Amino acid sequence: MGKHRSTTVVAVKHNDQIAIGADGQASFGDTVAKSTVRKIRKLSTGNIVVGFAGSTADAFTLMERFEEKLGSYSGNMKRAAIELAKDWRTDRYLRRLEAMMITINKEEILTISGNGDVIEPDEDVAAIGSGGNYAKAAALALKKHGSKLNSEQIVKESLNIAADICIYTNHNIIVEKP
């Protein structure tokens, strides 16, 4: 997770609702290149939402491959994620891509990495990117002590907390639900 700077993506399942969000900052070295990048995309007619961290071009390549896998496996997110992770680990071209993804549907959250990992979070919170650990800690605390908040509110607040701490994360936040 450490090398994927320039963003924060967090997904939360709370009270049987799942939301995912990301900030909008793209950095080039230690300079803000753009502050309104959209790092969240709806796939499969909106039933699956993907958030990415890392190189934008690499992330789009992975999202395209993931969408192909979704088509091949009738929209089964977990199966598509596993097959993408297998390809990502073994394909010479894909192995060079530097990005990570979090995918959600109405039931589950998955983190997909280039190491061949497909991880279902234990605490129903997943986060990636430079501010990922800050957002994850905030989301876990909010879930534990802020049960009045819904999943979208927890995502937004945890991203705002991460943006206050991480210089590669801003307050231009987009939150989506499947």
Closest CA to 59 of 9, 120, 124: 9
Domain boundaries, the chain: 8-176
Please give the positions annotated as active site: 7
Count, residues in the chain: 178
Average pLDDT, the chain: 89
Q: What is the pLDDT of residues 7-16, one digit of tens each?
A: 899 999 999 9
Residues with Cβ within 8 Å of 72's Cβ and at least 6 positions away in sequence, in order, are 80, 83
Q: What is the pLDDT of residues 119-139, one digit of tens each?
A: 999 999 999 999 999 999 999
For residue 100, give the amino acid letter.
M
- pTM for the model: 0.91
Looking at CATH, the fold of the domain delimited by 8-176 is given as Glutamine Phosphoribosylpyrophosphate, subunit 1, domain 1 (3.60.20)
Q: Comparing 26-30, 45-49, 151-155, which segment has the lowest mean pLDDT?
A: 26-30
What local confidence, expressed as pLDDT, does residue 95 receive? 65
What local confidence, expressed as pLDDT, does residue 124 receive? 97
Q: How far apart are CA 63 and CA 66, in angstroms?
A: 5
Q: What is the pLDDT of residues 65-95, one digit of tens each?
A: 899 999 999 999 999 999 998 888 777 666 6
Q: How far apart are CA 139 and CA 99, in angstroms?
A: 22
| Strands of the sheet with 174-176, listed across from one edge | 125-129, 8-14, 17-22, 174-176
Residues with Cβ within 8 Å of 27's Cβ and at least 6 positions away in sequence, in order, are 5, 6, 33, 168
Q: Are 73 and 83 in contact (CB under 8 A)?
A: yes
